Amino acid sequence: MNSRKDLINYLKNGTRVLKNSEIKKAFEKINRADFVREEYKMEAYENYPLPIGYGQTISQPTTVAFMLELLNPQKGDKVLDVGSGSGWTTALLSQMVGSGGRVFGTDIVSELINFGKTNLSKYNFNNYQIINVGEEIGLKKYAPYNRILVSASFEENIPKELLEQLDAGGIIVAPVLNSVFKVKKLSNGKLERKEYPGFSFVPFV
């Protein structure tokens, strides 16, 4: 695909993963080419992951669109973006939650945090932070969150400490092995889980 328009048309009409109008607006506003390494600029609109260094990737567009559809962030939401990497998902989320919302992107690789911050600085968002969390899972300091997005795969289950950071009524979308899970926390604290198999992610570290 040669342009952002081609990619959006493919996501909307070819794969039909781009249904939500707010997510479509975010894809139109946020250019994936602003978040890839210079040597991959010519491939920015292709529907596959691209390396960003340190064993990490910028995710496949269909996967990101699908996960955002499941997450369904709303204006004013407080969102945790675990594994912010290139900053692309943080930018998409920042666009979607608007000036009244807040996005906290986390990573553990200082160079990727700097890469993400540099990429995000191309936009005029003032509703996000990118934080090095070290060995912490999630970011307890600003919990609870309305939405949590995880971009790397857990080996067994979504960790309890991450689920505890989700507010009542909130949704977490996270990969476990080769499936994407959508988990909603009900008002009584119980969890509703739904599994969507058939994906591939870098492992959570």
Residues near 49 by beta carbon (within 8 Å), at least 6 away in sequence? 57, 58, 59, 60, 63
Q: Could you give the residue numbers annotated as active site?
A: 59
- Rounded to whole angstroms, the Cα distance separating 63 from 39 reads 22
- Look up residue 164 and give its two tokens: 């505890």
Is there a contact between 181 and 175 (Cβ–Cβ < 8 Å)? yes
Element (H, E) at 195: strand 191-197
